Amino acid sequence: MTHRWKPSVTVAAIIEENGKFLLVEEYTPEGLMLNNPAGHLELGESLEQACARETLEETAYTFTPKHLVGVYMSRFKRNQVKPLSTISTISVKDEVIEDITYLRFAFCGSLGLFSPDLKLDEGIVRTLWMGIDEIRESSAIHRSPLLLACAEDYLKGQRFNLNTLRTDTSIYTPPTRT
């Protein structure tokens, strides 16, 4: 049997107010980076629910997706050194290449209430608001090249109705087969 390739499904909130976009600054293996409020789709939730959850976890703001801005793919490679075994005092290490393809669903919508007592996700340092020129100038510290692509598409007015997406009820209560 061959290995089936599967991209990592992620969601992102594209939140703009008064010409500024809400971003997060987060620790990554590559250092401190900027990103949209974003994260992975979890079992038992729709794409819209995942986006609302991730936004709350990373910014402490509620968020209601209203439109799909776009669907994006990007690929990321990182070298990792993993210890395999230790023989006496000699460590044997192997270099592994992490190769991930992300399939991102980006949403725009309504920013809601802020919960100042909510603890942000691990790794999130702070939220910040940046204009498009600041975002363009900071591309060297973008966690994903999709940060700028999503903002640019949003500014171009790219919007798709949420009925473009359909979540079958089996996501919430999988049918049982006997």
Angstrom CA distances, 134 to 34, 128, 139, stand at 11, 11, 9
* Residue at token pair 């809601």: 112
Backbone dihedral angles phi then psi of residue 151, each to the nearest 5 degrees: -65, -45
pLDDT over 80 at 174, yes or no:
no
Q: Out of 3.90.79.10, 3.40.50.300, 2.40.50.1020, 3.90.1150.10, select the CATH number for domain 8-159.
A: 3.90.79.10
Please report the pLDDT score of residue 135 as a whole number: 98
Please report the pLDDT score of residue 131 as a whole number: 98
pLDDT over 60 at 88, yes or no:
no
pLDDT over 60 at 92, yes or no:
no
Q: Rounded to two decimals, what is the model's pTM?
A: 0.87
Angstrom CA distances, 84 to 78, 87, 95, 96, stand at 18, 10, 10, 11
pLDDT over 70 at 15, yes or no:
yes
Average pLDDT over residues 64-91: 75
